[in-house]
């Protein structure tokens, strides 16, 4: 008799076929497991996936030039509809004619009625500085604009005939645009639609990305150089001593990040503890005090101290289980201390090195508070500029584009780690 026939003949105590009863039990187990993880899944979707999706959408979407929201009522009113129609009817690169300026004049009347000139002008001002005032001035004088409209606009401001302005308005007439990503890598579109670099004195984002990458790699290396011996000491000491020293490693976690950062400000400033000590022992003259604040030195020192435990803990978790008899066996076979360490001990700690380096690097590229307080102009990271656009310039689309590029860089790093080391070898504890 085959197994399938046997399963069909077997029944449960209540007379139901055993096979269908087992299938029902498995379905119930899967449903219970799903219900158990459902709260966590919902939490991740609400607090993690949804904000990231909104950020990615915001990076390519900005309707400030085409829509206006009535304060109080919440009603959304289309604006700049006439000039958008002219853009739809004329290809890119077309020189604005009298019809274009007539359409613009009609839209200025709408902006005046809705008091929306500021929002429309702000959207254009993101890509061409100084245009917000042009829009507000034209809206104030909208009722005085008469044919020929081109000359009327020129009388208000000669920049109304600038091809670059019309190129920006054409791009902004569609709420969806990739221009914010271009701006995030110091690129722009010429009046003809070609992608070109922005002026040299306005190229800041690529420099900040490079600085963020360089300082993050440097901080990761410094935490490794300082944390590896500490983790090795903790892993090889007797448990009663290593537990005591572990408290010192964990102590920064129990101290406010703001307190630790301000403490470094006290230590590193020109009239701070370190400079006073160097001057006191005669190593420095009072006029030659070291500048360790509001520059990259302050950022690197403070962030290395703050992120050091994130390197030590993964290393310790990997080093602790390593059997010391492996190294002793290598030495007994004639290997030197360095060869035994490099060929036997170090390869076993690579998963901890990779985990600690990945963790420290990812935290470094997105750090904000410490560079803002001790970094100054030369120690700022890209996260500080993202915060500036979110809080001061209110260019949320550009901030979202910068954040999306930063997220993409982290994902690429994660992919490279998986290809080179293997994510299965990642050990955090």
pTM given for the model: 0.85
Q: 366 with 258, same domain?
A: yes
Question: HEC profile for 33-79?
Answer: HHHHHHHHHHHHHHHHHHHHHHHHHHCCECCCCCEEECCCCCCEEEC
- Round to whole Å and give the CA distance between 231 and 10: 59
Give which of 395, 390, 385 is closest to 124, Cα–Cα. 395
Contact 397, 59 (CB under 8 A): yes
Is residue 1 one of the residues assigned to a domain? no
Same domain, yes or no, for 35 and 138? no
Q: Do residues 383 and 371 touch, judged by C-beta distance below 8 A? A: yes
Q: Where are the alpha helices (DSSP H) in 149-256?
A: 149-156, 163-172, 179-184, 205-236, 239-250
353 found inside a domain: yes
Q: What is the pLDDT of residue 72?
A: 65
pLDDT digits (tens, 9 = 90+) for 217-242: 999 999 999 999 999 999 988 888 88
The pLDDT of residue 81 = 94
Instruction: Give me the CATH number covering residue 322.
Output: 1.10.3720.10
Tell whether 195 and 210 lie within a shared domain.
no
Chain position carrying tokens 């590029």:
405
Nearest to 219 by CA among 363, 350, 421: 363
- Asked whether residue 282 falls in the same domain as residue 403, the answer is yes
Q: Using CA atoms, how far apart are residues 249 and 245, in angstroms rounded to an integer?
A: 7
Tell me, what DSSP letter sits at residue 381? -
Q: Are residues 214 and 111 in the same domain?
A: no
Question: Same domain for 151 and 299?
Answer: no
pLDDT at 207: 92
The number of folded domains in the chain is 3
In a domain, 299, yes or no: yes
Same structural domain for residues 289 and 179?
A: no
Q: Measure the CA–CA gap between 214 and 220, rounded to whole angstroms.
A: 10
What confidence score (pLDDT) does residue 71 get?
67
| Residues 6+ away with beta carbon under 8 Å from 145 | 105, 108, 138, 152, 153
Q: Render the burial of 134-173: b for 16+ CB within 10 Å, e for the rest.
A: bbbebbebbeebeeebbebbeebbeebeeeebbbbbbbbb
Contact call for residues 205 and 380 (beta carbons, < 8 A): no
10 domain-assigned: no
Give the pLDDT score at 393.
87
Q: What is the model's pLDDT at position 120?
A: 93
336 plus 417 within the same structural domain: yes
Residue 13 resides in a domain: no
Q: Looking at the structure, do residues 159 and 262 belong to the same domain, yes or no?
A: no
Secondary structure element (H or E) that encloses residue 343, with its range:
none
Q: List the one residue out of 378, 388, 55, 370 whose CA is nearest residue 210.
A: 378
235 and 372 in a common domain: yes
The Cα–Cα gap between 125 and 395 comes to 10
- Quick one: DSSP state of residue 94? P
Establish if 336 belongs to a structural domain: yes
Q: Are 294 and 375 in contact (CB under 8 A)?
A: yes
pLDDT number for residue 380: 86
- Say if residue 184 is exposed, middle or buried (CB neighbours under 10 Å; 0-12, 13-18, 19+): buried
Query: In terms of residue numbers, what domain contains 298?
Result: 205-425
Whether 172 is in a domain gets the answer yes
Region at 148 (left for phi over 0; alpha for psi -120 to 50; beta for the rest): beta
Q: Is the dihedral of CA 223, 224, 227, 231 positive or negative?
A: positive
Residue 70: the pLDDT is: 77
Q: How many CB atoms lie within 10 A of CB 76?
A: 11
Residues 376, 350, single domain; the answer is yes
Backbone angles phi, psi at 258, to 5 degrees: -65, -40
Of 224, 180, 225, 170, the residue nearest 205 (C-alpha):
180
User: Where do we find the tokens 């044919």?
Assistant: 147
Do 249 and 286 reside in the same domain of the chain?
yes
Last residue of a domain, one of 147, 171, 199: 199
Longest dimension (CA), the chain: 100
Report the number of secondary-structure helices (H) and strands (E) in the chain.
Answer: 22, 4
pLDDT in tens, the chain (429 residues): 455 555 556 776 666 777 787 888 899 999 999 999 999 999 999 999 999 999 999 999 999 999 988 766 668 889 999 999 999 999 888 899 999 999 999 999 999 999 999 999 999 999 888 899 999 999 999 999 999 999 999 999 999 999 989 999 999 999 999 999 999 999 988 877 788 998 888 889 999 999 999 999 999 999 999 999 999 999 988 888 888 888 888 888 888 888 888 899 889 988 888 998 989 888 888 888 888 888 899 999 999 999 999 999 999 999 999 988 888 899 888 889 899 999 999 999 988 998 899 999 999 998 888 898 888 888 889 999 999 999 998 899 999 999 999 999 989 988 887 887 776 666 555
């Amino acid at each position: 008799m085959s197994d399938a026939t046997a399963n069909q003949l077997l029944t449960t105590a209540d007379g139901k076929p055993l096979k269908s009863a087992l299938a029902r039990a498995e379905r119930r187990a899967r449903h219970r497991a799903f219900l158990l993880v459902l709260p966590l899944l919902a939490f991740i979707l609400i607090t993690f996936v949804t904000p990231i999706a909104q950020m990615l959408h915001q990076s390519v979407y900005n309707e400030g030039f085409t829509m206006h929201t009535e304060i109080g009522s919440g009603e959304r009113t289309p604006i700049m509809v006439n000039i958008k129609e002219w853009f739809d009817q004329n290809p890119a690169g077309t020189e604005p004619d009298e019809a274009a300026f007539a359409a613009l004049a009609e839209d200025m009347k709408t902006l005046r009625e809705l008091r929306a000139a500021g929002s429309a002008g702000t959207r254009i001002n993101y890509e061409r500085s100084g245009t917000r005032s042009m829009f507000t001035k034209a809206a104030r004088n909208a009722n005085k604009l008469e044919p020929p409209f081109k000359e009327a606009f020129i009388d208000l401001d000669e920049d109304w005939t600038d091809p670059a302005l019309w190129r920006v308005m054409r791009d902004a007439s569609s709420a969806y645009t990739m221009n914010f990503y271009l701006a995030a890598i110091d690129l722009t579109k010429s009046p003809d639609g070609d992608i070109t670099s922005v002026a040299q004195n306005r190229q800041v984002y690529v420099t900040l990305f490079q600085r963020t990458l360089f300082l993050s790699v440097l901080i990761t290396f410094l935490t490794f150089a300082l944390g590896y011996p500490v983790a090795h000491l903790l892993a090889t000491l007797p448990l009663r001593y290593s537990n005591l020293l572990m408290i010192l490693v964990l102590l920064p976690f129990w101290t406010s990040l703001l307190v630790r950062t301000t403490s470094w400000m006290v230590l590193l400033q020109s009239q701070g503890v370190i400079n006073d000590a160097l001057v006191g022992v005669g190593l420095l003259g009072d006029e030659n005090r070291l500048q360790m604040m509001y520059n990259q030195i302050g950022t690197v020192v403070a962030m290395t101290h703050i992120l050091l435990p994130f390197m030590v803990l993964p290393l310790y978790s990997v080093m602790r289980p390593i059997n010391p008899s492996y190294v002793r066996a290598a030495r007994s076979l004639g290997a030197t201390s360095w060869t035994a360490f490099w060929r036997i001990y170090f390869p076993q700690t690579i998963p901890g090195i990779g985990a600690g380096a990945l963790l420290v690097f990812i935290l470094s590229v997105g750090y904000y508070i410490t560079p803002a307080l001790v970094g100054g102009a030369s120690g700022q990271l890209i996260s500080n500029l993202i915060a500036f656009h979110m809080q001061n310039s209110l260019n949320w689309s550009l901030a979202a584009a910068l954040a999306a590029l930063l997220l993409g860089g982290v994902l690429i790093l994660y992919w490279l780690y998986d290809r080179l080391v293997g994510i299965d070898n990642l050990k955090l504890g």
